[in-house]
Amino acid sequence: MSVDAQTRSANHRLSLEEARRYRAQGFLVRKAQFDALEIDALIGAVEDTAKAALAGIEAVQDTRSYVLDGKRFVDLDHITVQFEPPPFDPAIKVIEPVCELHPRLDALLDDARLTAPIRDILGSEAIGLWTNKLNLKRPRAGSGFGWHQDSPYWIHDCGHVDLLPNVMVVLDDASRANGCFEVIRGSHREGCLPGTDDGSQLGGFYTDPSRFDPGNAVALEVPAGSLVFFDPHIVHGSAPNTSDHPRRALVITYQPAGHPTLKSRRIRNIR
């Protein structure tokens, strides 16, 4: 690591108070870490990527399309595109992984504003990528995400599911009206919780509501350019976007170095 890189990393390390708060609450917010020009550039990259994904689905014959609980998914090799449910399909809801599809997004993976705090959370200087995704909530078209944990999605693909911290890069001013990210404070301390048993195809991935207190919900209404670090076990979700403003976000998940990524199984260590 160069001297400049070491300096940038040191400037973004967690304070003792931040580390304590993250451990106690399961999440940490750092507001406005990216300026308006940086956010505009990232938004341009994600919008170009979303357009390219739609064009790729139309052009490529060898795709796998399927529907789960009324939601359409399309696999392009190891990349999954999830669409909004009717009547908003073909609006894209999620692309995972996404950062490899654009050089600006790939460079973001190594940004010290993200990686220095993650190194402190993991207690390791050597970290790697687990997965990353783009969440798009279009104005008055973006559906919500029910209360869930990330760990049940990953537990069968990873032997160190406790060591998969996330960071969300907030690309638009987030409010309750446009479906901001919400967490259940302290719920990460319970580990991997059981899912619902409602007979739906995806019900098992949504957390049993009897296992957490919705009174501990925190709506993270934060400005564009903010970072939200959160534990893989914390229960989280969001409401639909009922506003005239988008609510776009990138979520990047890290892990100790040397392990393969979730979808491609390639190793992407952080520089």
Cβ neighbours of residue 149 closer than 8 Å, sequence gap 6 or more: 187, 192, 193, 207, 232, 233, 234, 235, 236
Residues 202-248: tens digit of each pLDDT: 999 999 999 999 999 999 999 999 999 999 999 999 999 999 999 99
Q: What span, in angstroms and rounded, lies between the C-alpha atoms of 30 and 219?
A: 15
Residue range 89-118, pLDDT digits in tens: 999 999 999 999 999 999 999 999 999 999
> Which residue from 20, 254, 225 is spatially nearest to 116, judged by alpha carbons?
254
Asked, for residue 251, whether it belongs to a domain, the answer is yes
Q: What's the confidence (pLDDT) of residue 63?
A: 76
Q: Does any domain span residue 11?
A: yes
CATH code of the domain containing 179: 2.60.120.620
User: What does pLDDT average to over the chain?
Assistant: 95
- Name the 3-class secondary structure at 251: strand
Residue 270 lies in a domain: no
- Using pLDDT thresholds of 50, 70 and 90, give the confidence band for residue 60: confident
Domain assignment present for residue 265? The answer is: no
Tens digit of pLDDT for each residue in 4-26? 555 556 789 999 999 999 999 99
**Residue range of the domain that includes 102:** 3-256
The answer to whether position 271 is within a domain reads no
Residue 166 forms part of a structural domain: yes
pTM of the model: 0.95
Query: Does the residue 55 lie in any domain?
Result: yes
Residue 138 pLDDT more than 80?
A: yes
Q: What is the DSSP letter of 264?
A: S
Q: How many domains does the chain have?
A: 1
Query: Is residue 57 over pLDDT 90?
Result: no
pLDDT tens-digit readout, 20-43: 999 999 999 999 999 999 999 999
Confidence of residue 3 (pLDDT cuts 50, 70, 90): very low
Return d(Cα 34, Cα 8) in angstroms, integer.
14
- Measuring CA to CA, how many Å separate 120 from each of 145, 157, 180? 29, 24, 26
